Amino acid sequence: MKAVALEIGAIPFHFDISELESIPEKAKELIALLDGKAHTLVSNTGLGMLVRFGKIPLEHFQKTYDTNVFGIVVGLRIENHQ
């Protein structure tokens, strides 16, 4: 990912959205890295499981939703952590 980002002039930045308590500090780091401006945000958030549908525990559905849906919302709200 880093090589591709650098190839197109992007700045790669990684953090784990499942660690919600870390988001404000990581957001400050990102905003400082970008000199306070972001023109484009690419969120590569995703979680999945290769199991028969009926065999997937309900807890996994919740974790998948939290990561795949809520994770994108968290990423898009980074500017609120300035």
pTM for the model: 0.56
Write the pLDDT tens digit of every residue in 20-70.
Answer: 778 778 888 888 888 887 777 777 777 777 778 888 888 888 888 888 887
**Long-range contacts formed by 22-27: CB under 8 A, 24+ apart:** 23/74, 23/78, 23/81, 24/81, 27/78, 27/79, 27/81, 27/82
Q: Rounded to whole angstroms, how far apart are CA atoms 37 and 5?
A: 17
Domain positions in the chain are 16-81
